[in-house]
Amino acid sequence: MSNSIVLFGSPGSGKGTQAKLLKRCLQVPHISTGDMLRERIAQGTELGIRVAAKMHAGVLVLDEVVNGMVSARLGERDAADGFILDGYPRTTPQAHFLSDWLDERGIREVVIHLAVDYNSIIARLTGRRQCPRCGTLYNIVSRPPKVRDDDREEVIRERLNAYDRQTRPVLDYYRTAGRRLLEVDASSDPPEKVFDKICQAIDVHDCAQDAR
Tell me the DSSP string of the chain: --SEEEEEE-TTSSHHHHHHHHHHHHT--EEEHHHHHHHHHHHT-HHHHHHHHHHHTTPPPPHHHHHHHHHHHHTSGGGTT-EEEES---SHHHHHHHHHHHHHTT---EEEEEE--HHHHHHHHHTEEE-TTT--EEETTTS--PPPGGGSHHHHHHHHHHHHHHHHHHHHHHHHTT-EEEEEE-SSS-HHHHHHHHHHHTT-TT-HHHH-
15 is catalytic: yes
Q: What is the mean pLDDT of residues 186-211?
A: 79
Give the model's confidence band at 193: pLDDT under 50 very low, under 70 low, under 90 confident, else very high. Answer: very high
Q: What is the mean pLDDT of residues 120-130?
A: 64
Candidates 148, 168, 175, 212; catalytic one: 148
180 is catalytic: no
Candidates 105, 108, 128, 175; catalytic one: 128
State the pLDDT at residue 116.
Answer: 87
Candidates 15, 23, 73, 197; catalytic one: 15
Question: What is this structure's pTM?
Answer: 0.77
